Amino acid sequence: MSALSGSRAHGPGASEVAEGLLTMLVVAALCLLAAGYGRGVHELWTRRGPGRVVPAWRVAAFGGGLLVVLAADQGPLHRLAESSFAGHMAQHMLLLLVAGPLLAAGAAGLPLTLTAPRPLRRLLARARAAAPVRRLRQPIGYALLAGAAQTFVLWLWHLPGPYVAAVDAPVLHAAEHVSLVAAAWLLWAPVLGPARHRVPAPVSLLLLVGAMLPASALGAALTFAPEPVYPVRVLGPDPVADQQLAGLLMWAPMDLAVLVAALAVFLGWLLRLDRERPDRLVAPRPGRLASPPTGAATEGTVR
């Protein structure tokens, strides 16, 4: 797990001891996360029945998210990331657009809370009941927080200074990947999480579009920059082409994923409106006769 553990790309490698220790820490953290989630789901299914509260497809999504986090750091993609900025961008998009949404769809809040020690559960309950946290959990507040976190993390780690620092420092590189996954998880949780925690559809649409626009702007800036924005040593053999490809990898997949998700949210919203209030969505046909009066009105009309 050299990228998640902070392997130094495009330059002198980090010491094998430091790389090994960071790798062990990251793997241990992912294993603990998987074990805690699995134990919480097992407890829920034992109490309520298999597939209740947390459906099997959500469990599969969470496990898939953890596997994607590992896959983003192993094999061909990792070797590509060591030699080009575009490879790093592919890693980042995999974490933001695949791992984050899958982890959010896993609905891990309740299972992980059940496996937490009792003092920690009390602390979390007090924090959730605090007035500032309650305000942040309101749909508008949460959408603003999630969108701002995604935008801040994305722009921070792709500015030249922080990006080069992350390339050179193993710990910062690890922090970069962790923050990208966390921000994506936070962004997609109100869209893909349990129904009781989702924000209203109009808020979801604004959240997704609001998060897409700054990412598109950053991707466009990298794509159309006439010269390298980053030091040549952190770019591929053709610095300008590598930077342009990285910009396209951020721009196109981000826009496509968000637009597909926004369309799905919009269609789901229309279907719910159709089920709940069909009369609001169906306009009367021209020339359609009004419903015949009933009761006293009918009697008055006849007379």
Q: What is the reported pLDDT for 60?
A: 94
**CA proximity to 88, closest of 215, 180, 19, 186:** 180
pLDDT in tens, 46-105: 888 888 888 999 999 999 999 998 888 776 777 777 778 998 899 999 999 999 999 999
Q: What is the reported pLDDT for 81?
A: 75
Q: What is the reported pLDDT for 71?
A: 83
Does pTM surpass 0.75?
yes
Q: What is the reported pLDDT for 282?
A: 54
**For residue 232, how many other CB atoms are within 10 A of its CB?**
12
Q: What is the reported pLDDT for 51?
A: 80
DSSP string for 38-57: HHHHHHHHHHH-TTSSS-HH
Q: Which long-range contacts (CB under 8 A, 24 or more apart) does 197-204 make?
A: 197/107, 197/109, 199/139, 199/142, 199/143, 200/139, 201/265, 201/266, 201/268, 201/269, 201/272, 202/269, 203/139, 203/140, 203/143, 204/143, 204/262, 204/265
DSSP-based three-state secondary structure for 81: helix
Burial-class residue 158 by CB neighbours within 10 Å (0-12, 13-18, 19+). buried
Q: Which residues of the chain have pLDDT under 50?
A: 1-14, 289-290, 295-303
Using N-to-C axis directions, what is the helix angle for 170-192 and 16-48, rounded to 10°? 20
With contact defined as beta carbons under 8 Å apart, do 234 and 88 qualify?
no
DSSP conformation class of 73 = T
Domain ranges of the chain: 16-278
Structure tokens at 122: 């009390």
pLDDT in tens, 212-236: 888 999 999 999 988 999 998 888 8
**Whole-number Å distance between alpha carbons of 52 and 67:** 24
DSSP-based three-state secondary structure for 8: coil
Terminus-to-terminus CA distance in the chain, angstroms? 87
With contact defined as beta carbons under 8 Å apart, do 94 and 72 qualify?
yes
Q: What is the reported pLDDT for 3?
A: 39
